[in-house]
Structures are given as structure tokens and as C-alpha cells.
Structure 1
Amino acid sequence: MLNRPFEFAWKPLRAIWHKALGANDKTAEAPSPSAQVSATPHRKPTIEYRADIDGLRAIAVLLVLIFHGGLTLFPSGYIGVDIFFVISGYLTTSIIMKSLDNGTFSFSGFYTRRIWRLQPAIIALLIATLIITTLLYLPDDYVDFLKSGKYTSLLLSNQYFSNATTGYATPDAATLPLLHTWSLAIEWQWYLVLPLGIWLLNRYVAKKAFKVTVLGLTVAAMALALYWSHTLADKNYYLFSARIFELMIGSCAVIFSTDKFRLNRLSASLVCALSLATILYCATREDILAGFPGYHAIAVCIATAALLFRGIGDASITSRILAFKPLVFIGTLSYSLYLWHWPILAFVAYVGITLTPMVTVIYFVATFVIAWLSFVLIENKFRKPRAGFAKTLILLMLVPAIGLSLLHTAGKKHDGWPERFGEDSSQVFSGLKAYVPAQREKCLGVSDGTDLGCIMGAAQADPQVFLLGDSFSNHYWGFVETLAKDANLSALAQGYPACLALPKVYLYDEKKYKGGLYQKCHTAAQQYYDLISKSRFEYVIVGQFWEAYLNADIVTKQDDPRSTELSQQRLGVAIREALDIIVKSGATPIFLMNTMPMPAGINECLLKRVKLRGWMGSTEQSSLCATSPWSGGEDPVLAKLFSELQDEYPSLIVIDPKGVQCQDGTCATVIDGFPVYRDIGHVTDYASYKLGQMYLKRFSNPLKATR
């Protein structure tokens, strides 16, 4: 009785499946129901449907949905995407090999079917997210969305999100509605490589060398992925070159299959049980994201290939388990489930709704309902090609790409159309933008001191003030420029994100950099202090998010012993080394403290009324968000260190903007109706300039201290 609803739903789906096979419209992308073809080189393959592969898809998509839903059951549920990639490699290779053996393969036919199978649902996703972001997203965020839409339509969103985010599953990625399309971009990049690769190998490589060549290429791709895992651990997650081995493992599962090989039921069941256990083990790990995909991804992919391999996966008892009708039903919806689940979470996060248990339940229900509608109204309706290759390419690929590219260009030109939110809000957005220095962001990530655009303050031939540090020094551009103009000085600004701008030390991150030294920070710091030594600055201002480095892993060489206490000792030594260089150069050292760290959800609270046009939130609620409690105390380790430094270096000046941001136990999160924070931790340029003006009114200008 329990299976009847699924039986009712599955029968028409199965009919559609067999109709699709008869029409030669086979599907092969990772997260979607697909025709099943098995082939090896130079023999006639057979076509058979395996329900267990749909069940495997269900496991993959459920891992992803549960992980993104914030549940702790599978801390590494993102490995579901790796399972999809292996399935995709298996299916696309099967289809192409069968067509080559039958003499029916054509590039135009393959791409026409792929485009009609994938693009209608993606176009629907782009239209739906465009409508909702037009209603909700603030101007800068809206322009960013349009840019992501452009790169999604150009099949390059993996590259875009690699540069636009600090990493996978990071806070700055939580509100990007198209973030998940990075995997679809890799799918398409695979489709561009695979057909030509197999065609060339099939045509020019001897029969006996075919399998060895494919295996060699797969091993080489695997080695490259492991290399990127260690050398580009903060970027490799989105790279096609780091993912192609996963799809190639799926190809190997096809190419190495043979009618002569078949394990008995017990042996096959043991292999597949071990494979499922491997997938479950990796999904429950909490510490494998750094440098992913790496060894754990290889284990997941090999396990998935074993479950797909003819003579193993289809011979085991696990094939019956995976063919459980509810799992198969979910597997048939997997492409739509994957497409629509993430935008729901992104929009929920953007309007500041917390994922309570009730909201999480709504997320799962909404995902399945929307996925079912998408499957019925879009996937099935447009499954069969309705035009030839040229018209298909123009209609479903070029038109969306050109349209979104033009829309992004127009969005940039019109600053994201702030008038969407009404006149009052438009004035706030315009005011915030008016205070953004044109060169500020361009001076972040540089350290050679040669860019004249990085000089601000009073008009002078040479800068007398040097501002350096991490991104927190960069967000103080307006603050420092205000002080510099008042003192009739010019200032050079240089900064490097997430870098400790101190000499003779390295940052070491076991997770982010796979146990390596962050050489870029070390090199930038060396250039800063070389510049200080050979220049004649009057003031050197070091701006850092100091608290962030108290628990950092700071070393002087790769094999240094590591502990929090040792890192803090090395921090103190490095700061004194920096002060010695600054003082010896004849400059006055100035340390810039941080503003109050951004309270969680503060901008969502402040801007909820704007985003939702007053549907949720109110003026009263926004006023409650205008300040945040503050204990008034600094970290005791940092306070002790800075107190010692001021005793040891009498010329050291410490500037703390909290002196004007905070009073009577609260800190302002709004100045003159403008938000203080622009993102997680950094202040807006409006707030930076205003805090500088407030500092001058309340305190004397520290840049006049020695003049």
C-alpha cells in the first residue's frame, strides 16, 4: 500500500523513458533521468534501463539537499555532485560509444539533444531568478546577479564563482541564486571535450591501445586534481581541470565493461556494499572540504563507478535496494531538484529568514513541489528536439547569452536601477555609491607602490603617509583620506586581503592551503617594508583586523612547531620587527584598530523593509537595528600586547574608530541613515569618511602629532 503513490507516479515516467529511448533522445547529464546505454569499443552494445542508477541519483541529490539545508547529518553532502559527475561520464560515454559503433554518431545530433534536454529548464531558472532578484536584490547585489547570469548562459559560471567568492560554502556565497550552476558549467565543458576526444581516439588509436590510453588519461587527470588540491586549495573546487577525472572515471566504467565479466551475486553485493559504505563514510566527514576534490573525491568516484559497472552494480543485491520505487521516483526528479533547491535557500538567506526547523521543512516541500512542476511542464515537454542544430543553438544558447550580457551591461550603466525601491531608498543607494573612491578596490591586492591611483589625500608630489595592511586597511581609505587632507598630506594605500602585513612571518593554514605557507602574504609584506626602508614617509599606518590573527597559525618556516601560544608570541615578535623598521626609517608608526565587528544579520535587519517594500519589517524594526550592544572591552591578549608596545615604542600612535562609533555600551550600525557595514566586517565608504570626520571633531588629528 505504501508504494502505490510512487507506482502511480512512476508508470507514466517509465512510459516517457521508453518513448525517449525509441526516439533516440537519450539523456546523459548528471542530475537527471537518463537512458541507459552500455558499450565497449568495437562491439555492439545493448540498451537496458537500470532503475538502480535512478536510485543512485536520488542518493546524490538528497545528499546535496540535506547538506545545503543546514542539517548536520551529512557534513560533506556536497559529494553528491561528484556522484552526479561520474554518472554523467558513464552515460555520455555510453551514448557516444554506441553511436560510433552503429555508425550513427554526429556532433550536431549529440549537441542538439543535449541542448534541448538541459537548456529549457536552465532558461526557466534564469527567468525565475531574474524576476525575484529584480524584486528583492539591492542595486550592487542585482548587478552581481546579472553578471552571474551572463556567465551561466556562457557556460562559464564555475570560473565566475571561483573568482567572485572566497570559497565553497562560505557566507559570501549564501545569497547567490545561481551558485549551483558551477556544476552545470562543468557538465557543458565536459560535453565540449568528450565527443571530440572519443571520436579522435576511436579513429586514430589502435584497438589494443584504446583502453590503455583512456586509463592513462584518467590517471593523469586524477594526478592533476591532486596537484591542484595542494597548490590551489582555495580555488580548485570550481576548476574543470580539477573535476574532469570524475567524469573520466565514469567513462572508464563503460569502456572497461565487457559481456564476459560478471561477478556472482555474493561477490558483487560485497563490492557494492563497500562502495555504498565508502560514499556514506565520506558524506559524514567534517574535515574534507579543504582542497576538495582530493583523495576523498577519488574514493567517492571509484565507489560510484563500481555501482555503475556492468557485471558488478547490476549483479548485486544493492541494485534492488537502489531500485526501491521511492528512490527511483526521486531520481527521476533529480535534475529539477538540483536546479531549484538552491535559489530557494539563497532568497531565504537574502531576506534574513533563519533556517528554523519549520523553515527547513518548507524548504524541502517547496523544492519537491517546484521540481515536480518543472519536470512535468518543462523537462518532459521539451525533452525531444524541436529544431535542427543551427536553430537550436541560436534559440536556446545564443539568445539567452546575448540577452543576459546586454542586461548586465545595462545594469552596470544604471547602477542596478535603485529606483526599483522607491525614491527614499534610491537616495540612500546613490549616496552610498557617491562616496566610493574609484581606485580603492584596485589598490587591494597590490604591493609595489607604483600605482599613482593609489595615492589619495592632499595633492602632493610624493606621498608622506603609507597605509598598508589587509582588506581592513583598504576599507579605511575614507577615514585616512579625511585625516590626510586635514593635515595637508597625501597617502599611499596598499593592501592584500587576509594577509598579515608584518615582516619575516608566514600564515599557515592546514585546511585552506592544504598545510602550505601563504607565500603571497609573505612576499607582499616584504615589499611593503622594503618600500618603507627606502622611502621617507612621515607616517606609516598599519591597518589590520588584528583579532583575526590571534588564533591564526603563524610560523617563520614550514617545520616550525605550532600552537596558539607560539603563534601569538610570533605575532608579537613580528609587530616589533615592523615597528623597528618603521622607526628606523624616520616615520611615525600608527596602528589602526578595527571598528566593532559586524553583528550577525545586521544589514538584513536594516534593509529588510527596503528589500520587501514594507511587506515584512517596519521602520520601527529598522530603528531597533540602528545600534548594537558592545561590552567596551578588547581581547585581553591584544590589549596586553598593544599596551606593552606603546610602552616600548613611545612614538607609536593607536587610532581606534570605536571611540566615535561606540558610546554608552552601544555601537552605531547606521550613520545619517546610511548603513555602517557594506559586507561581513567591512564598513561602507560613507561610514569610513564620516567616522574620519567624527574622529577629527572629537580628537586631535594624529597626522599632525609630529608637525
Structure 2
Amino acid sequence: MRLPIQSENKNALGYRPDIDGLRAIAVLLVITFHAYPEKIRGGFIGVDIFFVISGYLISSLLYQHLQSETFSILEFYERRIRRIFPALLTVIITCFIVGWCILLPDELKQLGKNIAGGAGFISNLLYWNESGYFDSLAINKPLLHLWSLGVEEQFYLFWPIFLYFVAKKKESFLRFTIFITVISFIANIIYSKIDPIAAFYSPLTRFWELQCGAILAWSKLQGKQFEKNNWLSLIGVTMIGISAYQIDETMTFPGWLAIFPVFGSLLVIASNQDRFINKYILSNRIMVWVGLISYPLYLWHWPLISFASILEGRFPDVHVRSKALFIALILSWLTYKLIEKPLRFGKYPKNKVLALCITMVLMGSIGAYTFMKNGLVFFKQEPSLQTFKGEIGHPPFDNYLSSNFYKCTPEYLYQEALSIKVRCYQSKPNGPIHLALIGDSHAEHLFIGLAEALPNKNIVFYVKPESPFVDNDQFKKIYDYVLNNHSIKQIILALNWNGKIGREKTPEIFEQKLLATTNMISKSGKTLFITNDVPVFSFDPKKCVSIRWPKTEQVCNEKLAFNYYTDILKRVAAATNNMHIINTLEDFCSDDECSMVKDKTILYRDFNHLNIDGSHYLAKSILQKNPLLKKEE
């Protein structure tokens, strides 16, 4: 059962402080991205660095034991349990206790589900079916970051067994490994185009990153010499740095872009620890110390930021985030010294493994029970509520759409709109379409109210996450269909203006693109309406309808400024024929004070999207002020 390894490079398996330094870079990138996203927009690539490091180190250990014929699958998993479980259990138990104290029943239900997923190392599969890592509601998921542990542990369920049978059958390890790596990478490329969320969370599309580290470990043990060149580390660190600052959440990832952090990490590891960057930067005592606590630091930092966000009903200010990271650093060091090291090393390893497994199963069961029992609502005291009607959260809105309306036509636009949920409906099952809503989710949330207030019209919405400009390929087929469909007489453009203007290099460029789009629609003979949007609040509506423990401030109103984009809309309207601005801001705001409540009814389902009542309320106002929309076709 020996692997044909030439063990000429005896130091390949020895401790390398520079790899702990690389771990430090990885965790610092991730926590900086989470705490200060405006500073390092691509800091999430730190997870890819972790994957490469893990693939390299664990595979090196596996090869060593296979070569010496001391490999035991049971001992391998025992070591993984002693490495992974202590800190993970500490964080999961703490999150459940904190969640019990401060979360509302529906939030505790969600946390219970995520605790069960984290305990079973399937968090990535759960989040795959919910929403994206960069979704606006991700901040309210204290255990979202456990998705990466799911990918890693799913890999290690398969990888040791694979190596064992390859060695037993004396097959070519390298040939099979490269084959699997190529298949995983191709799946990553394909799914990044057709289902980006699947590409981000699926183990199939992520395994290649760990296996790149495994291939490097094999090459090192074969005696391949990389380390004599100082340039390898420099190039590798540069690739990581460029990835962190140039990649961002608006880009398709992993896809081709993941090559940069993955290959950058490989180059750093391929260099020997006595190279300049490895020796004097990565092996610096501070970097090594951060690397040693990188695992508990990764586990602690996100729940602290997330719980702070939930309590404040918004992304916390920089001072709160900085305090959260400081606390995470202290907790990480204490976890490493007092929990992780004692349970990982020392006497009675089998007893420790048994105790850890029992505790993990118990916490997974508690999480599942909490989810099935709707957040233990029968135990938890109901929060203090104002007498507000209206639903909060996305499920009621999404369920109402799917239950009361019909998939949009034509079929090819419906198929392009499919993601986690359908993002394309119309108000009648067939017949000509009269009014089209085009834009982003701020067009979608107008649909229910307008569709039900105009029962004689067939209304449709076509939305994408980007700006609905004529030069945007995402909207090409939509405009080709809408502008050439003679039954569609009216178009409403609705957009989260605040969120989209900043994506262009300058406001002037945004205005030029918008004007080109409105002129194109005007020339088609359609009547164009454009909303000046609803106010975007800085807090979640749960901050308006509930008071948490410990007692938090109840807020429903906020002072907001809109001149930044309203002036642009006015200029575009003045330069476009047959275009009308629908003033929706005045339905929520008086002067610069805006409210998400009207007549004791909550109108928002999150900080910037209307709920069902909000859609009905706004549609009624729109039709009163714009009688042209009532015109029969």
C-alpha cells in the first residue's frame, strides 16, 4: 500500500512558520472584508488561500502515512475532530446562548437551522438554497462563514479514501488527481456562468482549490525544487494582493478569477521558508501568532459583527466593528490557549474525541429542534410590539407572487430570470402585455400593487441586479422584446438609484447612460414613466416593530437626503420626449424625514424593499397622481 514517493525533500513535511504567516494574511483579508468592506473589497479571497493551505498540509500528512504504511482512516478523522471541533463547538454554543437572549423567534429558528448545518458540516449546502454570500441580508446570519468549513470537511470525507484505494491498487496518483482537479475546475467555470451561487458554495466547484495544494505537496515530496528562486514568493504575494484589491463582490467568483489567489498561494508555499518574503515577512513573530489563532479568529469575528448588526438593525458603525474585532482577537487567543490546545493534544485522545462527537451531535440536534419548533416560540417571551400590520422578511412577499400571478412570457425571458427564486411574473396567464416594469428589485416590489390595482391590464416585470441601461447585455433581450412588442404601450423604469449610481465611474457617466436608455425607449413610441424610488433606510424594519433584550431603541423614521439623484432624473426627463417622473418619495417623506410606517402599517420587508402592504399603498398613490397609467389599451 506504499505510494511511490521519493522522500528526498525531508523538510517538506516539517513545520513552516511562513505558512502560519500565510494563514495570517488569509484571515486578515477575510475579517477586513467583513468589518471594513470599503477598504479591501476582495478580502473574501482569503478563504481560497485557506483552501490551498489545507490541501497542501493535510495531503502532505496523508502521503507521509501512506508511504510509511501507518495510514489509518480512523486516526485521520480523530485528528480532524480534535483540530476542528473544540473551537467550532465553543462558537456554536456561544451563538445559541446569545441568540436565545436577543433574537426574535423567526431569527432563532433560522439560527437553529444554521447550527444544525454547521454541526453537520453542510452549511454550504444550506446557504446554497437560501441566498448569496453577498446578499444584503447575509449580515443577519451569524454562522454564514461556516460554509467554508462545510466545503473543507466534505473534501476530507472523500480525499483520504481516494488516496487509500489509489495506493492499494498501485494506480497513478498524479493522473487521477489532475483528472479530478480539471473536472472540478471546469464545473467551476460552467456554474460561475449559469448559477453563480452554486459555483460559490458547491463542493464540486471548490475541490480544485484544495487539490492544487495536494498536487504541490506531491511535487514537493517527489523532490521537485521550487524554492531556490526568490521571485516565486514575490510573484505569489503580488497575485494575492492584486486579487484582494481588484476583485469585488460584483464580479463572477470563483470562476477564472480564483486562479489568481489560488496560484499566488501555491507560489508562496512552493518557495522555501528561507526566501526573503517567507523568512522576514511571513515568519515574523506577529504574523505567526495571528496564523496560530487564525482558525478561532475566523470563527469568532463574523458572529460578533452579525449580532451587533442585528441589535442595531443596520450595519454597525466603524467603532462598533473595530470593538468587535478586538473582542474577537481576545476570544480567539483564549480559545486557542484554553480550549483548542488542551483538547487537541495531551492525554486521553480517544475520550476527547468521543466527548467532542457527542457534544457536536447534541448541538446539531438542539439546532434542528429549534428550527422545527419555529424558534422555540413557546419558550421565548414575545418581543414588545407596536400595533403594526404588515409582514417583515422576504418569504411572504415571494410566496404571494408565486401563489397569485403567472410566470412571465416569453419563455426565454422567464428561463433567464430563474435563480433561487423566480424573478419574472405577469398578472394574467396569457394575452397581450400592456405595461412592463423594468429595472432591479425596486421594480419588482411595485408589481403586486399595480397588478391588483389595474385588473384590466396584463402587467409584467423584468428585473436584473444591474442598471437597466441600453449598453447592459443583461437587458438586451428584454429591450429587444419589449420595444418590438406593439401591445406594450407603457414602460415603468424603477431602480435603487442610490445603490446603482456609485457603480459607475462618475455620476455624469450614469446620467449619460440613463439618457441614452430613455431616448431609446421614447423613440420606440412607448410612454415612459420613471420612479424617483422609495427611501432606502439604514436600519431593518425589525428595529421599528420590536424591542429586543437588552432593551434597544425603537426607530421607524430617519432623515434622508435625495438631491444627489433627483436632480439627475429631472435633467433626463427634460431631455426626453414622452417621459414622466413618478414621485414616490413624497409618499414616505415629509421634507427630509422619512418613515417606513403609514397608518399603523409597516410598509417595508427589509431596509429598502416594500412588503405587500407597501406595494398596495404605493400603487394606489401612483395611480391617483398618474391617471395616464389607468388608460385602457
- Tell me which interval the TM-score lies in, with the shorter structure as reference length: 0.7 to 0.9
1:69-102 C-alpha deviation (Å, 9 max, x unpaired): 3176644333322221111001221222222223
SS class of match (1:103): coil
SS in 1 for 2:286: helix
- Structure 1 residue 194 displacement after superposition: 1.3
Please give the secondary structure, in 1, of the residue aligned with 2:31: helix
Q: Distance in 2 between matches of 1:278 and 1:71?
A: 20
CA RMSD of aligned residues (A): 4.7
Partner of 1:89: 55
Conserved? CA contact 1:421–1:611, under 8 Å:
no
C-alpha distance 364-667 of structure 1, shift in aligned 2 (>3 A) = closer
Measured after TM superposition, the shift of residue 219 of structure 1 is 4.8
Counterpart CA distance in 2 for 1:630 and 1:379 is 50
Matches within 5 A, 1:259-298: 260-261=223-224, 267-285=228-246, 290-293=251-254, 297-298=258-259
Please tell me whether the aligned partners of residues 500 and 544 of structure 1 are also in contact (alpha carbons under 8 angstroms): no
Q: Which residue of 2 aligns with 1:557?
A: none
Q: Per-residue deviation at 1:132?
A: 2.4
Partner of 2:535: 597
Matched, 1:247 2:217: no
Q: Tell me the alpha carbon deviations over residues 648-688 of structure 1, each in whole angstroms, 9 at most, x when there is no partner.
A: 48xxx875444533445544332234443322421122333
Evaluate the alpha carbon distance shift between residue 497 and residue 235 of structure 1 in structure 2; reply closer, same or farther with a 3 A threshold. Answer: farther
In structure 2, which of residues 294, 300, 304 is the aligned counterpart of residue 344 of structure 1?
Answer: 304
- Which whole-Å CA distance do the structure 1 matches of 2:337 and 2:55 have between them? 26
Determine whether 1:544 maps to 2:507: no
**Matched ranges for 1:440-479 at <5 A:** 440=401, 446-448=407-409, 468-469=437-438, 470-477=440-447, 479=449
How far the C-alpha of 1:147 sits from its partner, in A, is 3.7
Cross-structure match for 1:195 = 160
1:400-439 aligned at under 5 Å gives the runs 400-411=363-374, 420-425=381-386, 427-428=387-388, 438-439=399-400
Paired residue secondary structure (1:596): coil
Q: CA deviation at 1:197?
A: 2.5
1:466-490 per-residue CA deviation (whole Å, 9 max, x = no partner) reads: 6644433432355336634xxxx36
Is 1:148–2:114 an aligned residue pair? Answer: yes
Query: 317-326 vs 225-234, which deviates more?
Result: 225-234
The 5 A counterparts of 1:120-199 are 120-168=86-134, 171-199=136-164
Give 3-state SS (helix, strand or coil) of 1:41's partner. Answer: coil
Q: CA deviation digits over 1:370-395, x for unaligned, max 9?
A: 11222234323432686599968973
**Larger relative contact order (CA 8 Å, sep ≥ 6):** 2
Matches within 5 A, 1:550-629: 564=510, 567-576=513-522, 580=526, 591=529, 593-601=531-539, 603=541, 606=544, 610-614=547-551, 616-617=552-553, 622=555, 625-626=556-557, 628-629=559-560
Distance 2:9 2:276 in 1: 24
- Taking structure 1 as reference, are residues 222 and 642 closer, same or farther at Cα in structure 2, changes over 3 Å only? same
Deviation at 1:144, TM superposition (A): 3.8
The answer (yes or no) to whether the contact 1:428–1:674 under 8 Å persists in 2 is yes
Task: Identify the residue that residue 77 of structure 1 maps to in structure 2.
Answer: 43
Describe the shift of the 1:244–1:281 C-alpha distance in structure 2 as closer, same or farther (beyond 3 A). Answer: same
Matched residues in 2 for 1:499 and 1:79: separation?
22
**C-alpha distance in structure 2 between counterparts of 1:199 and 1:663, whole Å:** 70
Residue 343 (structure 2) aligns with: 382
Contact 1:313 1:319 (C-alpha < 8 Å) held by counterparts? yes
Distance 1:276 1:442, change over 3 A: farther
CA apart distance, 1:362? 2.0
| Residue 367 to residue 529, structure 1, CA distance change in 2 (3 Å) | same
Deviates further, 463-472 or 48-57 = 463-472
Letter aligned with residue 596 of structure 1: V
Q: Does 1:639 align with 2:570?
A: yes
Q: How much does 1:337 deviate?
A: 0.6
Aligned to 1:316: 275
Please tell me whether the aligned partners of residues 552 and 567 of structure 1 are also in contact (alpha carbons under 8 angstroms): no
TM superposition shift of 1:189: 1.9
Report the Cα distance in structure 1 between the residues aligned to 2:196 and 2:430, rounded to whole angstroms: 42
**Whole-angstrom distance in 2 between the partners of 1:430 and 1:73:** 37
User: Alpha-carbon deviation of 1:462?
Assistant: 8.8
| AA partner of residue 567 (structure 1) | K
The one of 275, 295, 300 equivalent to 1:335 is 295
Secondary structure of the residue aligned to 1:242 is: coil
- Aligned partners of 1:229 and 1:669: how far apart in 2? 37
Contact 2:467 2:495 in 1 (8 A): no
CA positional deviation for 1:306:
3.6
> Is the contact between residue 55 and residue 328 of structure 1 (CA under 8 Å) also seen in structure 2?
yes
Contact 1:481-1:491 within 8 A present in 2 as well: yes
Relative distance call for 1:201 and 1:442 in structure 2 (3 A) is: farther
2: CA distance, partners of 1:627 / 1:303: 46
Matched-pair contact (CA < 8 Å) for 1:477–1:688: yes
Deviation at 1:436, TM superposition (A): 5.3
The one of 676, 686, 701 aligned to 2:603: 676
CA contact (8 A) 2:390 2:613 kept: no
Q: Distance in 2 between matches of 1:77 and 1:546?
A: 26
| Partner Cα separation in structure 1 for residue 264 and residue 467 of structure 2 | 45
CA distance in 1, matches of 2:614, 2:498: 22
Distance in 2 between residues matched to 1:129 and 1:308, nearest whole Å? 35
Amino acid at match of 1:244: F
2-side partners of 1:48 and 1:125: how far apart? 30
Question: Hey, what does 1:16 align to over in structure 2?
Answer: none
Q: 1:231 to 1:695 in 2, by over 3 A?
A: closer
| Higher mean C-alpha displacement, 677-686 vs 625-634 | 625-634
Residue 370 of structure 1 is matched in structure 2 by: 331
Aligned partners of 2:359, 2:614: CA distance in 1, in Å?
Answer: 45
In terms of mean alpha carbon deviation, does 221-230 or 343-352 score higher? 221-230
Percent sequence identity over aligned pairs: 22
- Give the match for residue 304 of structure 1: 265
Shift of 1:368: 1.4
Aligned to 1:483: 453
CA displacement 1:4-54 (0-9 Å, x = unmatched): xxxxxxxxxxxxxxxxxxxxxxxxxxxxxxxxxxx9737699663333322
* C-alpha separation in 2, matches of 1:222 and 1:540: 45
User: 1:67, 1:77 within 8 Å by CA — same for their partners in 2?
Assistant: yes
* Residues 644/74 of structure 1: CA separation in 2 closer, same or farther (3 Å cut): closer
Q: Give the letter for the 1:196 counterpart.
A: I
**Inter-partner Cα distance in structure 1 for 2:539 and 2:272:** 47
Between the aligned partners of 2:105 and 2:132, the Cα distance in structure 1 is: 21
Q: Which residue of 2 aligns with 1:41?
A: 5
**Counterpart residue type for residue 130 of structure 2:** A
Quote how far apart the aligned CAs of 1:331 are. Answer: 1.9
Cα distance per residue 1:594-630 (max 9 Å; x no partner): 54331334748646x723453x43x6xx3xx525356
- State the alpha-carbon separation in 2 of the partners of residues 86 and 700 from structure 1: 58
Q: Secondary structure at the match of 1:495?
A: strand
Q: SS of 1:302's equivalent? A: helix
1:101 counterpart residue number: 67
The separation in 1 between residues aligned to 2:139 and 2:199, in whole angstroms, is 19
CA deviation vs aligned residue, 1:115-145 (integer Å, no higher than 9, x gap)? 3431343233222222323333345544443
